[in-house]
Amino acid sequence: MRRIALTLVCALLAMPALAQTTLNGAGATFPYPMYSKWFSEYHKLHPDIQINYQSIGSGGGIRQVINGTVDFGASDGPMTDDMLKEAKTKILHMPTVLGADVPAYNIPGVSAELKFTPEALAGIFLGKITKWNDKAIAGANPGVNLPDKDIIVVHRSDGSGTTYIWTDYLSKISPEWQSEVGKGTSVKWPIGLGGKGNEGVAGSIRQLPGSIGYVELIYAVQNNITYGSVKNAAGNFVKASLESVTAAAASSPKMPADFRVSITNAPGKDAYPISSFTWLLIPAQSKDAAHGKILADFLNWMVTDGQKMTAALSYAPLPEGVVQKEKEAIKQVR
């Protein structure tokens, strides 16, 4: 028995320790539920690999990948040329899934699903439309008894890819927004209260009668938050869904070689207009060759098996054409 026990101990000592390789990433909150699922499933396939991810917002993810303090970053807004120049190594944008921002609101006594025109959304967030019964809102919602109540605008207070998508859209549909505010993960808001993360914005909307803000689609779905449809570039009111987000990607401009593309205000008749890709920010040359090899393997798994898991979490999968281009781009990761 002693000999058997000794043999077992020796065998156990000879086995490689589990979770011996850890990769760290940080960034966007928008795709966090998807990334959390993927990293967990990948760990089940590779018990010796642990991928940790901090959901700190796109702005934080970009800063950390530029500074080289993480193995990878994540953002819902692509890095600018100036940001890429700051990085210590070439940073690749790898699309992961498609998602959407939705206009969420809390209007006492109104249970109907509201319709929002681009002009109404821009006017509300510029502080020019201040009452819920304003004709810019009422005109798109005949039969809905909108109150003569002040509108309370809620926006993100942290650097956020969700904000980038929202302001990218407003910049496209409103010249005034483009010239006065512009787009970015953080902007100087003309009006409103700040909330940290989707949860902060949603919490404020729940607590403040008469409020409106923007949250990520999956967050609204999972938390039963009321949100409206938006008039798209083709003139149709479309509610965010997997199908309407996919339609936005399908009708958008051709994907550039570096994958930095905006699909807000897409031209398709069925396209939801506040849709976006989200990206992992991957150093082409990792500081640790073993980490680079793991990242490349994870990315190849993500664009194949990983895509089969997206719909269950209210994200739209990548179009097949994007997957094929991405497989080629992954070959650069070392």
What is the reported pLDDT for 20?
81
pLDDT at 133 exceeding the cut of 50: yes
What is the reported pLDDT for 111?
87
How far out from the chain centre does Cα 265 lie?
A: 16
CB 217 within 8 A of CB 100: yes
pLDDT at 8 exceeding the cut of 60: no
* SS3 (DSSP) at 176: helix
Q: Where does the pLDDT of residue 222 fall: very low under 50, low under 70, confident under 90, or very high at 90 and above?
A: confident
What ranges in the chain are assigned the alpha helix state H?
2-14, 32-45, 58-67, 81-86, 118-126, 135-138, 161-173, 175-180, 197-207, 217-222, 242-250, 289-302, 320-330
Mean predicted confidence (pLDDT) in 180-187: 94
Other beta carbons less than 10 A from residue 313's beta carbon: 17
Task: Mark residue 199 as left, alpha or beta (left: phi above 0; alpha: psi -120 to 50; beta: remaining).
Answer: alpha
What is the reported pLDDT for 3?
54
What is the reported pLDDT for 258?
97
The CATH code of domain 100-254+261-275 reads: 3.40.190.10
Q: Tell me which residue has tokens 């999956």.
A: 218
Rounded Cα distance between 89 and 306, Å, is 27
Rounded Cα distance between 29 and 56, Å, is 6
pLDDT at 240 exceeding the cut of 50: yes
What is the reported pLDDT for 17?
46
Mean predicted confidence (pLDDT) in 149-163: 94
| Domain 19-99+276-330: top CATH class | alpha beta
pLDDT at 149 exceeding the cut of 60: yes
CB 75 within 8 A of CB 161: yes
Q: Where does the pLDDT of residue 5 fall: very low under 50, low under 70, confident under 90, or very high at 90 and above?
A: very low
Rounded Cα distance between 262 and 182, Å, is 14
What is the reported pLDDT for 14?
46
pTM listed for this prediction: 0.88
Would the CATH topology of 19-99+276-330 be identical to that of 100-254+261-275? yes
**Closest by alpha carbon to 111, among 143, 140, 135?**
143
Cα Rg of the chain, angstroms: 22
> What are the boundaries of each domain within the chain?
19-99+276-330, 100-254+261-275
Q: Which tens digit of pLDDT belongs to each residue from 53-71?
A: 999 988 899 999 999 999 9
Question: Which CA distances in Å does 193 have to 10, 23, 125?
Answer: 62, 36, 11
What is the reported pLDDT for 252?
84
DSSP code, position 213: E
What is the reported pLDDT for 219?
86
